[in-house]
Amino acid sequence: MHLLSLCKISKQALYKSNFSLVLQHAKHTKAFVTTPIYYVNAVPHIGHLYSTVLADTIRRNYVLHGKEVIMSTGTDEHGLKIQQAAEKNNMKPIDFCDKVSESFKSLCEAANIGYSSFERTTNKHHIKSVNELWNQLLKNGYLYKGKHEGWYAVSDEAFYANNQVQESVDEKTGEKIMVSIESGQRVEWTSEENYKFKLSAFGDRLLQWIDENPNAIVPNNRKNEVISWINQGLSDLSVSRLRSRLDWGIQVPNDPEHTIYVWLDALTNYLTATGYPWTTSSTLKDFFPPDVQIVGKDIVRFHAIYWPAFLMAAGLPLPKQILAHAHWTMGKQKMSKSRGNVADPFQVMKDYGVDPVRYYLVRDGGLADDGDYSEEMIHTRYKKDLAGQLGNLLNRATAASLLPSGNVPGKNQIIDPRDQMLHHQINETAENYNKAFEDREFNKAYAYIFDMVSQANKHFAENEPWKMAKQPQDKERLDTVLYYSLEACRVAGILLQPVMPTKMERLLTRLGVSNENRYFKDAIKMNSDERPLGKIEGVLFPRL
């Protein structure tokens, strides 16, 4: 077969493959992304920023595919820990919650998080949602009153079975204590009457859900943990506390002696964000269930076992994906104030800029394994990827000495052998990026983009356009070289919008790309039209 015919076939196949990917996304026009709601017993740390930025990047990536998206975040404000923290600070619980909740809102604002709703468990509409869910569980026969005896950790707001605790020694006092094996937090034996949820009835259904939806819990090591917990057997779950012991929480409907246990209260926030209980006029009902729920690995049990079980019991649809990320360490050690190895998220963004920090967190954050936080690595990513590769290519290829007309050159259909490798790479980057992103391999997704930009820089240097600019007979070749450099910048700019929205808005404006041409559909095909460059104030990634 003739080589030209082969090229045509492979090009058609590639377009067909790309188009099917777009269609796959277009089938579902709405998406719902959630962060956990953050516990207000302490101010935000780098882990909170990571969860929130990860959720916002996924949200913006759905927008990149032309979807209508909502995103919820917020604060978890009930429970014994809050009650105790407020007392310690000589404050009323609600005043204490107001103060700390505001700091989480400030974090969202500082990090350019585009949430649709900020849910607080002290809000009236949330209390209404919790009451509705409680009544549904009661009506469907999944709640009963019983005596609970067992180990309880105030720090975790969780009950633990005998096989989930072990003996330990308190470092400060030297006394023997019992702690949760999972979290390491101290547990106390407690005995009280409360309401219980028939969690034991859902083991097989939960396993079936996981089996039928392989991406329901990611990454795989978290999914395997959850399966292991279910296989060990699920005990019925305590879902209330006596108000005499805990009054900072939502009262059980029609039972003033009991407070709804914090996890049933907290998890309902994802329903609250969509206006539950829904009426015929509810505009957000169609967004439920969530497409992606971002959680830390320490709360995967609550989100991947309790939450879907509550939804099953209430006859509600289940989340499409629980994405449980690992933690950030520093110097391979868990971050803690006492060790002095904590990072202030506000200060880090001030020092390096919001978008570079967002990029570093999503690219280098740990999903399966903990990520080791390092400002040196933020500096390296900034200098090497952002300033050294992308910023450098944009500056070089838009230099007035090379583009005196101020226009991005167009391109004819013939591919010069000297450009074949870069042409192919630019054409494939969007699809490669998208597959890795959908597989939640974020480092790999961004590596595809920056490998393309690196190849474009190499192509630029090898072709020496600054020499061609001095020779009128080389004008056509010069335009071709600049075309490929600017196409690499355009495709990178489109695909990096979810993680670096502000910087990429500036880059695409500089390249003269109109707002309606900044979607995934525009990155899967090369643009051969000439267009005028836009303006940019200063350097995209200035020296730190």
- Tell me: pLDDT of 136 over 60: yes
Look at 11-20, 191-200, 220-229, 263-272 and tell me which has the smallest mean pLDDT. Answer: 11-20
Please give the average per-residue pLDDT across 463-491, as a whole number. Answer: 95
The secondary structure of residue 35, as a DSSP letter, is P
Spatial distance between the Cα atoms of 426 and 424, rounded to a whole number of angstroms: 6
Q: Tell me: pLDDT of 110 over 50.
A: yes
Res. 481: pLDDT tops 60: yes
Contact by Cβ (8 Å): 483, 517: no
The Cα-based distances of 90 to 43, 93, 328, 364 in angstroms read: 17, 9, 32, 40
Q: Give pLDDT, residue 27.
A: 61
> To the nearest whole number, what is the mean pLDDT of the chain?
92
Query: What pLDDT does residue 3 have?
Result: 35
Taking a C-beta distance cutoff of 8 angstroms, is the pair 436, 442 a contact? yes
Q: How confident is the model at residue 336 (pLDDT cuts 50, 70, 90)?
A: confident
172 CB neighbour count, 10 Å cutoff: 6
Which residues touch 442 (CB under 8 Å, ≥6 apart)? 362, 363, 365, 367, 436
Percentage of the chain lying above the pLDDT 90 cut: 79
Q: What is the mean pLDDT of residues 104-113?
A: 98
Instruction: Residue 520: name the closest of 64, 40, 42 by CA.
Output: 64
Is a pLDDT exceeding 50 seen at residue 173? yes
Q: What pLDDT is recorded for position 508?
A: 97
The answer to whether 364 touches 325, Cβ cutoff 8 Å, is no
Separation CA 513–CA 529 (nearest Å): 11
Q: What is the DSSP string of 168-227?
A: EE-TTT--EEEEETTT--EEEEEEEEEEEE-GGGGHHHHHHHHHH-TTSEESHHHHHHHH
Furthest-apart CA pair in the chain: how many Å?
A: 90
6 pLDDT above the threshold of 80: no
Which residue(s) pair with 194 in the sheet?
146
The region that residue 173 occupies, defined by phi over 0 for left and psi between -120 and 50 for alpha, beta otherwise, is alpha
* 3-class state of residue 96 by DSSP: helix
**Which of 38-52, 226-240, 443-457, 473-487 is the least confident region?**
38-52
DSSP code for 276: S
How much is the pLDDT for 343? 87
Range in 24-28, 32-36, 208-212 with the lowest mean pLDDT: 24-28
For 539, the token pair is 């350097």
25 confidence band (pLDDT: 50, 70, 90): very low
pLDDT value, residue 331: 85
Could you give the CA distance from residue 184 to residue 167 in angstroms, rounded to a whole number?
10
Instruction: Return all residues near 399 (Cβ < 8 A) that are at least 6 apart.
Output: none
Neighbours of 484 (CB within 10 A): 25
**192 vs 209, higher pLDDT:** 209
Structure token digits, residue 327: 């933690």
Q: What b/e readout covers 332-368, taking b as 16+ CB neighbours within 10 angstroms?
A: eeebeeeeeebbebeebbeebbbbbbbbbbbbbbbbe
Residue 324 has a pLDDT of 98
pLDDT band for position 5 (50/70/90)?
A: very low
- pLDDT score for 338: 67
DSSP for 458-520, please give it.
Answer: HHHHHH-HHHHTT-GGGHHHHHHHHHHHHHHHHHHHHHTTTTSHHHHHHHHHHTT--GGG-SH
Any residues with CB less than 8 A from the CB of 401 and at least 6 apart, and which? Answer: 466, 469
Give, in degrees to the nearest 5, the angle at Cα 86 between 80 and 88.
100
Number of C-alpha atoms within 13 angstroms, CB side, residue 527?
24
289 burial via Cβ count (<10 Å: 0-12, 13-18, 19+): middle
pLDDT above 80 for 148: no
C-alpha closest to that of 113 among 381, 357, 385, 287? 357
Q: Report which residue type is found at 84.
A: Q
Residues 211-238, mean pLDDT to the nearest whole number: 97
Over residues 492-542, the pLDDT tens digits come to 999 999 999 999 999 999 999 999 999 999 999 999 889 999 988 889 999
- Does position 263 have pLDDT exceeding 60, yes or no? yes
Structural tokens at position 472: 């009128």
Taking residues 133-156, what's their average pLDDT?
91
Segment among 133-142, 147-156, 158-167, 373-382 with least mean pLDDT: 147-156
Question: Alpha-carbon dihedral of residues 82, 217, 212, 72, nearest 10 degrees?
Answer: 60
Cβ atoms 270, 280 nearer than 8 A: no
120 touches 268 (CB < 8 A):
no
Average pLDDT (240-259) is: 94
What pLDDT score was predicted for residue 42?
Answer: 79
**Spacing of C-alpha 324 from chain mean position:** 10
Q: Write out pLDDT tens, residues 303-333.
A: 999 999 999 999 999 999 999 999 999 888 8
Q: What's the pLDDT at 12?
A: 42
Tell me the range of 11-15, 106-110, 365-369 where mean pLDDT is highest: 106-110
Q: Which helix (H) or strand (E) holds 259?
A: strand 255-260
Whole-model pTM?
0.89
Give the whole-angstrom CA distance, residue 46 versus residue 34: 18
What is the DSSP pairing of strand 186-197 with strand 176-180?
antiparallel
List, for residues 507-516, the tens digit of each pLDDT value.
Answer: 999 999 999 9
pLDDT at 9 over 80: no
Q: What percent of the chain has pLDDT over 70?
A: 95
Give me the pLDDT at residue 19, please.
42
Report the alpha-carbon distance of residue 102 to residue 108 in Å, rounded: 10
Task: For residue 417, say if its preceding peptide bond is cis, omega within 30 degrees of 0.
Answer: no
Res 4 pLDDT > 80:
no
- Asked whether the beta carbons of 208 and 228 are under 8 A apart, the reply is no
